[in-house]
Amino acid sequence: MADAAFTLTGPGSRMSPARLTAFISLHVVVIVGALIMFFPFLWTIITSITPGAGLTNAPSLIVENPSLQAYFRLFQERPFALVILNSILLAVITTAVQLVTSSTAGYAFSRLPFRGQTAVFAVYLATMMIPLQVLIVPLFVELKTFGLLNTYLGALLPTFASAFGIFLLRQAINQVPRELDEAATIDGAGHFRIFFSIILPNIRPALATLVVFAFMGSWNSFLWPLVVLRAPELQTLPIALAGLQGQYISDWDVIMAGSVVSVIPMLALYIFAQKYVIQGVASSGIK
């Protein structure tokens, strides 16, 4: 087991008093830490069900008159249902397209050697270092020229290829044994068939990681949608949330209700794919 780093055996009879103290205090520290980390979420939920929080009513750990009023206000006074649909739509399309562009590029860099491949791959990776902010002005002008401001397509186009996704899937495809392709080649399979019937089924965990990251990137993205989607009916969640601040300056229950609503879909996806997410972050960190 790799966990041997600081192994403390379970609290059995063989444990010395000193080790038992270490064992218990470690648990206490980590659990208290987790409570502190979780507290902002808890407080957000509490605030969202405390009517008039921030104005007339100070929220407390035990809510006396819990109410979903803030959630109703969110959906009645603001087009929040529409905003959520917009966010889902953009995230689903971004994710689907990134799955295609990342897996094909990953295959090209892993399995299709060509002259200048290393240089092309370096350029791909370098795009990870270009801050979106550098591109904001020219992108804005470009999409204005194409007449794509205030359209979903305008919001989507710059998200279609992700250097991170390409890198992730190339690493995964590199780990698929080449003998599998060779066997298929002997059976007469071309690259497209190898890609679909051998590579893709073998990199499912990496694809799942990419789904979570692409979805999360789109779901949480702020600056580009803020710039390109100016019409209120096109707004996505983060922008609508930032807007709540101006509209409901001290109606913290409404603002926190919006926050809760925006976290839930991402949380569901995360729980569904938790082990892949953590694996994915980890494998992007070590070579």
The answer to the question of residue 49 lying near another protein (CB under 8 A) is no
The answer to the question of residue 17 lying near another protein (CB under 8 A) is no
Q: Which stretch binds another protein (CB under 8 A): 51-59, 62-70, 72-80, 202-210?
A: 51-59
42: nearest Cα among 58, 61, 69: 61
- Tell me the C-alpha distance between 157 and 225, whole Å: 11
The answer to the question of residue 191 lying near another protein (CB under 8 A) is yes
Cβ proximity to another protein: between 82 and 266 the closer is 266
Cβ proximity to another protein: between 81 and 223 the closer is 223
Find out whether 95 and 211 touch, Cβ atoms under 8 Å: yes
- Tell me the C-alpha distance between 54 and 1, whole Å: 50
- Tell me the C-alpha distance between 227 and 239, whole Å: 10
The answer to the question of residue 209 lying near another protein (CB under 8 A) is no
Tokens in use for 8?
A: 């403390």
Cβ proximity to another protein: between 77 and 270 the closer is 270
Cβ proximity to another protein: between 67 and 101 the closer is 101
Cβ proximity to another protein: between 80 and 252 the closer is 252
- Tell me the C-alpha distance between 51 and 32, whole Å: 29
Site map (CB under 8 A) of another protein, residues 75-94, x = contact: --------------------
66: nearest Cα among 53, 82, 79: 53
Interface with another protein in residues 108-167 (CB under 8 A): 108, 112-115, 120, 123-124, 127, 129-142, 157-158, 160-161, 163, 166
- Tell me the C-alpha distance between 208 and 99, whole Å: 10
From residue 205, alpha-carbon distances to 93, 171, 192, 243, 280 in Å are 20, 12, 21, 37, 9
Interface with another protein in residues 262-281 (CB under 8 A): 262-263, 266-267, 270, 274, 277-278, 281
As measured in angstroms, the least distance from the Cβ of 81 to another protein is 18
